[in-house]
Structure 1
Amino acid sequence: MSACMWRTANSALSIGRLDQILQPLLAKEMARVKTDKGREEVVKRTIELVGSFFLKLNDHDPLMPSVGNKLFGGSSSDDTVTVGGVTREGENAVNDMSYIILKTAEMLCFQDPNLNARYYEGINSPEYLRRLAEVNINMVASPSIHNDKAMIDALVHQDIPIEDARDWGVTGCVEPTIVGRHYGHTNCMLVNMVAALEMALNNGVHPVMGDLIGPRTGEAAADFSTYEDFLAAYKTQLKYLCDMSVEINNYLGKSHQFIHPTPVLSAMSTGPMENGKDLIDGGAMYNTSGVAMVSLTDVVDSLMVIKKLIYEQKALDFPALLDALARDFEGDANVVHARVNRIPKFGSGDEEAISIAQDLIDFCYDVYIPQKNYRGGAYWPGFWSISYHVGFGMLSGALPSGRKRGKAFTPGLTPAPGSAEQVLPNIRSVAALNHLKMPNNIAFNVKLAPHAGDSHSKTLDYFSSYLQSYFELGGMQWQFNVLTTDMLKDAMDHPEDYRWLIVRISGYNAYFVKLNRNMQEELIERTEFLS
């Protein structure tokens, strides 16, 4: 592991399915002892060894310039560990080491490793799911929990053989890679979907930058007689950005092939030796590149406003909307803001908002999947944002959704704050989206606080039920922040009392007090649901 960190970028190294790696060693140790006391000592020693390994993962942080802190604030090296799910044969993979790893993480409560748990309904036990909920409650923000069936189905849909698809582990934030056989480059680029919206509203000009970035698609005030006309302009701008992202990434990849081969990592993978190629030259069994589409929710909510207020209700026209955006909804433009806020948002359960979201997901899938990367593999789209929803938000003006200038976008595939008063409509909306079209996974962030009057057992009942319902509906991934808004505000005012507090951003953990202020405010502004 250390050699890989020295030789390659010290970021998002996937440790793989640690419970599957260590379980045979634990079983061998257990077979040597004959008494309960002896077995207890083996378990204690195993926890100590796993804890020492986790300490090693936390003994360094990547150096980052100040501008990087605005985009990756609080991020560590984000080494990832995966537990649970099913075996290559489709059998229950949850074992003793799964629980030992969870217990060790719970005891230490570190930001690293980025712990991810796979759960397969009907094969993994309800008790295991309940334990995952309990560890989340006790750790506040970990592990991230994945619907194993949905992820495996998405991988098989990309022509990964079923046995290999079942053997996936998380890389980086939430992204799937086939353990030991796959060079996925899962975060090769993050695409700002809002930028295309602003360019469509301004005939190819990005209003904050002031430059003509995309193609000329028409003046909003004069050239879009129907909602479909405007949607077509948006998709034209988005496709332009997507195509440019592929072109630039392929140039960078070819440069990488020339100046920075990866012999150490290649030696640890299946494929390079057999193919006589370094991983960076396409030596892996599977060669893909992963795209993160950032801020889908903000676009959907904006399109809903345009569709409803301008084209259907005719309560607004483009000149009035653009004027309100230019004034950041201040002054008399707050009347427009009030109208905007009455339009249903994605996450409210509104079927039209879900339909718009699915249409854009389908569009991104159709744009990226046919394109080839510099190693000959496909581009896989996903919907998560690391912390770029904050950085990109700083570079954006006010949006038709009602979001103010410079404010953070929504993280991952999470509904915007205020979309619903209860968490269930959020669950139904996100789970309704087709997981087969998101092979690079998603991040669904929920701030869910236990009710003060509930016992620990009652709280576990609620959390487990929410998870069960979400996965039964087809949802891919869920990550919690189990805390209150008041706690976060107090941590901002008294950081010396909260050095221990980890939070989930959009795929990775971070210590709250190490985040920049913009990222702290984004976490505070997320909707707090009571369990």
Structure 2
Amino acid sequence: MKYCYEEGQKRTGHVFMGEEITRSARIETLRDTLLEAVPQISADRAMIVTEAYQRYNSETIYIKRAKTLAELLEKLPITILDGELIVGSVSDKLRCAHIFPEFGLDWLIEELDGNPVRPEKRPGDRYEIAEADENKLREITDYWRNNNHEYRCKAVLPEETHLIREMGVTDSYWLMIGGEGHLTVNLKRVVKEGLSNYMKRAKERLENLDLSEPSEAEQKPFLESVLITCDAVIKYAGRYAALAEKQAEETENPVRRKELQHIADICRRVPAEPARDFHEALQSIWFINLCIQLENNGHSISLGRLDQNLFPYYKENINSGVMRDEDALELLECLYLKLFQLHKITSWGNTKSFSGYQLFQNITIGGQDMNGKDATNELSYLILGAQAAIKLHTPSISLRYHDRISEKMMYAAMDVVRLGGGQPAIYSDEVYIPALVNRGIRWDDAVEYSIVGCVEAIVEGKQTGRPNGAGFINLQKIMELALYGGKDPNTDICLHPGKGSLADFASYEELYEAFKEQIRYYFKYQVITDNMIDMVTEKGIADPFVSCLVDDCIDRGKTMKEGGAVYDYCGPLYVGMANVGNTLAALKKLVYDERILTGVQVMHAIQTNYEDLTTVPSGPDIRKMLLDAPKYGNDDDYVDDIMVDYFRFICEETAKYKTTRNGRGPIGCIWQPSTSSVSSNVPCGECVGATPDGRKAGEALADTASPTHGTDTKGITASLKSVGKLPTVLVSGGQLVNVKVMPAMLDGMMTRKMVQVLRTYLGNYKGMHVQINCVSADTLKAAQVHPEEYKDLMVRVAGYSALFTPLDKALQDDIIARTEHSA
């Protein structure tokens, strides 16, 4: 059917591909309504889960989780907003965060008690909670105490892992109170076959099991859970069909009545059966996404290569005249607004590392096919156009670049980047595909990669969740430990004594080896921590619904955590990468090469936070010397060679380890590195004292693989050339680089120059990724003073965008401080 796109258009004042962007009255009203809504905490899910866990306590974890999801989909309130064309919400609250008590609840009760701060009084990412919801959550606290994922994880972890977190070296706490996520299920297959075919496959597998064989008998509860969950999701769609029919009967608007009747027909069909057109395909994808979000507390649940997977439906509808481009665009905009409604709350400590109300829901466009041909199509441009029109922080749009991508697509991407918010981020097939193949992924699967989370590439529908997204590793904290002989100056904890301190090292080689020795020790414990959390997840969470949507879980009769997926990878997130390189370079040059300073002098300077004026040279003088030393980001081989060498070392050290699925079926099972630090560079800096790169105690660390703020002083090309020297083919978990430019850099002819810079970096220099913030520091500072005037001001934080004004001020200041490149 055709919709009413032309009625009540509103101009946005922005231009995309030569035409002024407009929003229909429908989209404008929905967007304003959601943007004004305050995120709220709901107790609904927590109460239903508590009752279900008590009712099904004797069942296997697969059946318990499956029946719990079924009750959620049966009992949670549902709503259809006026004007919606894509339906399905986690709550009747406009922007709602449910609570997942089976993962952890104590942290929330502590925050409700004001420790460290109540959700509605947070410095950023605030959530309101009604008194009735708060009372309900307090009522169920006793049931979940010593009876959830957090407790089970803490019970099995070695004492050292808790001390390491206390020191601030690594942090995996978010995996104890949150879910896995970080995946894209086989949405293409669901849309093509429908859940009815998944149920058919599970039934056939069940009927053919030889229960006298223990390995096959073990598969029975999982396969039964597939039937329960798929049936529940189909019935959930039926609830929306009934609600749409009811609203159709009640409305006096004949146009809306016809829309609601059409929505009811769609919900009666998908996701149970194959989608027949573009609208049904989008609705099917949304229902699947929504139900995965309700099953599990993870984030980064993404939509894959939407332009490739849905293009046949779009093209057939356009060619037959059933749909116009305007209709397809409006449907995409409706989907984006549904994604914007989703929220999940975690502890304030974790939130500081994931700030911005962000669920990291990615849509990937562009790229190439398996024959190397540019895969960009008309739908690719519509997906970009929808982002230009909606201009909100979710979904994250990820553009796959390759050397044959058209100028038209690059300029279209710059049109959207110019609007602010760093959308789309750009990922290079020239590096990502070889990096994946290097880890054992077949070419025809690697070429189909899409992005989840910040920059993590995944073989959609065939890979276990969390290809990266293990704990954070604070590289500069490990460097600090090396400088202090293995002892943490903040806590006095010393788990791995070194062979001296900075005051004792006689050569750069001794310093470097001391750092590598600490890396080996703490990397090993990071693997221990995350693998043990994985073991607890496998036995205590299971995730039967999301697993059944990943190949080959049904055929193997296993969940993803048991080895059901075709591919399996995991890995840590590095924080403070540039700080380590700059520290090593400064000490090498000033202490060991030129002998201008001694290790004793630098040691005293950092111990006194560069504030001792009585020494010669003084603390401030020593700091200036260290700041003037070569810095990564200026195309200076002195420091860049050090960065390359140490970065190669940590990549290879990471890949020594295996995941818990090793030997159980999947290809890979390798730990792989990533430089996606999210927003953790700010809290990770709080526990690190002054360091020899000139950084003072407590200051934010460098984010991602980007140069330290303000130290890349020779322009954008020099900055990107430094990054391009890194051995990124080893970073199969994803490399992340932030670039901040003045808005004038994307005006007129400057856009052409920027495109040329990007092509050189991504192609010739084999850069893996880049994202561009195009908002001036002056605008950001004005938004801090008058937040009410900048409600939809968007910025790129790390591998994701966020609305600027709800961010914690410490993170706002960090974004403002990033080097701002000009023409």
**The 10-residue stretch of structure 1 (274-283 or 297-306) with the greater mean CA deviation from structure 2:** 274-283
d(CA) in 1 for partners of 2:377, 2:812? 37
Partner of 2:623: 337
In the TM superposition, residue 164 of structure 1 has moved relative to its aligned partner by 0.4
Q: In the alignment, does 2:608 pair up with 1:327?
A: yes
Q: In the alignment, does 2:344 pair up with 1:62?
A: yes
CA deviation map 1:309-365 (0-9, x unaligned): 110111111221111112222243001011112211011111121111111221112
Q: In the alignment, does 2:729 pair up with 1:447?
A: no
Partner of 2:165: none
Select 1:112's aligned residue among 394, 398, 402. 394
1:116-515 map, 5 Å: 116-122=398-404, 124-185=405-466, 186-222=468-504, 224-330=505-611, 331=613, 332-376=618-662, 377-416=669-708, 417-451=710-744, 456-472=747-763, 473-515=765-807
d(CA) in 2 for partners of 1:82, 1:395? 36
d(CA) in 2 for partners of 1:348, 1:516? 30
d(CA) in 2 for partners of 1:455, 1:506? 20
CA deviation map 1:459-487 (0-9, x unaligned): 32132122112112110100111011111
d(CA) in 2 for partners of 1:88, 1:288? 22
Partner of 2:317: 29
Q: In the alignment, does 2:304 pair up with 1:16?
A: yes
Q: In the alignment, does 2:338 pair up with 1:52?
A: no
d(CA) in 1 for partners of 2:471, 2:550? 23
In the TM superposition, residue 277 of structure 1 has moved relative to its aligned partner by 1.0
2:756 maps to amino acid: S
Residues 411 and 505 in structure 1, CA contact (< 8 A), matched pair in contact too: no
Q: Which has the larger radius of gyration?
A: 2
Q: 1:323 to 1:182 in 2, by over 3 A?
A: same
Partner of 2:116: none
1:465 maps to amino acid: Q
Residues 632 and 722 in structure 2, CA contact (< 8 A), matched pair in contact too: yes
d(CA) in 2 for partners of 1:209, 1:390? 20
1:350 maps to amino acid: D
d(CA) in 2 for partners of 1:346, 1:269? 41
d(CA) in 2 for partners of 1:443, 1:517? 23
d(CA) in 2 for partners of 1:504, 1:217? 42
d(CA) in 1 for partners of 2:402, 2:741? 23
In the TM superposition, residue 447 of structure 1 has moved relative to its aligned partner by 0.7
d(CA) in 2 for partners of 1:160, 1:318? 46
Runs of 4+ in structure 1 deviating by more than 3 angstroms, as ranges, are none
In the TM superposition, residue 97 of structure 1 has moved relative to its aligned partner by 0.8
CA deviation map 1:277-326 (0-9, x unaligned): 10111110001103211111000000011101110111111221111112
In the TM superposition, residue 184 of structure 1 has moved relative to its aligned partner by 4.3
* TM-score, normalised by the number of residues in structure 2: 0.62
Give the number of aligned pairs: 521
d(CA) in 2 for partners of 1:219, 1:338? 22
SS of the residue 2:713 aligns to: coil
Residues 414 and 746 in structure 2, CA contact (< 8 A), matched pair in contact too: no
In the TM superposition, residue 10 of structure 1 has moved relative to its aligned partner by 4.1
In the TM superposition, residue 210 of structure 1 has moved relative to its aligned partner by 2.5
In the TM superposition, residue 4 of structure 1 has moved relative to its aligned partner by 0.4
Residues 444 and 478 in structure 1, CA contact (< 8 A), matched pair in contact too: yes
2:648 maps to amino acid: D
Residues 69 and 516 in structure 1, CA contact (< 8 A), matched pair in contact too: no
d(CA) in 2 for partners of 1:348, 1:155? 29
d(CA) in 2 for partners of 1:205, 1:281? 39
Residues 297 and 344 in structure 2, CA contact (< 8 A), matched pair in contact too: no
d(CA) in 2 for partners of 1:284, 1:135? 36
CA deviation map 1:8-39 (0-9, x unaligned): 12411121111112111111102212xxxx7x
d(CA) in 1 for partners of 2:399, 2:293? 24
Select 1:79's aligned residue among 361, 369, 392. 361
d(CA) in 2 for partners of 1:188, 1:253? 10
Query: Percent identity at matched positions?
Result: 27
In the TM superposition, residue 89 of structure 1 has moved relative to its aligned partner by 3.5
**The 10-residue stretch of structure 1 (418-427 or 476-485) with the greater mean CA deviation from structure 2:** 418-427
CA deviation map 1:205-242 (0-9, x unaligned): 122232113333323222x2110011000000011111
> How large is the Cα RMSD of the aligned pairs?
1.4
Partner of 2:384: 102
Residues 206 and 213 in structure 1, CA contact (< 8 A), matched pair in contact too: no
SS of the residue 1:381 aligns to: coil
Residues 182 and 286 in structure 1, CA contact (< 8 A), matched pair in contact too: yes
d(CA) in 2 for partners of 1:296, 1:62? 29
d(CA) in 2 for partners of 1:216, 1:92? 52
1:80 maps to amino acid: N
- Structure number with greater CO (CA < 8 Å, separation at least 6) is 1
Q: In the alignment, does 2:529 pair up with 1:529?
A: no
Residues 147 and 475 in structure 1, CA contact (< 8 A), matched pair in contact too: yes
2:483 maps to amino acid: L
Residues 450 and 459 in structure 1, CA contact (< 8 A), matched pair in contact too: no
SS of the residue 1:513 aligns to: coil
In the TM superposition, residue 182 of structure 1 has moved relative to its aligned partner by 0.8
d(CA) in 2 for partners of 1:289, 1:461? 38
CA deviation map 1:68-112 (0-9, x unaligned): 332222242121111110123432211111000000011101111
In the TM superposition, residue 159 of structure 1 has moved relative to its aligned partner by 1.6
1:470 maps to amino acid: Y
Residues 557 and 564 in structure 2, CA contact (< 8 A), matched pair in contact too: yes
d(CA) in 2 for partners of 1:220, 1:404? 17
Residues 344 and 419 in structure 1, CA contact (< 8 A), matched pair in contact too: no
SS of the residue 2:673 aligns to: strand
Structure 1 unaligned spans of 5+? none
In the TM superposition, residue 195 of structure 1 has moved relative to its aligned partner by 1.2
In the TM superposition, residue 140 of structure 1 has moved relative to its aligned partner by 3.6
1:189 maps to amino acid: G
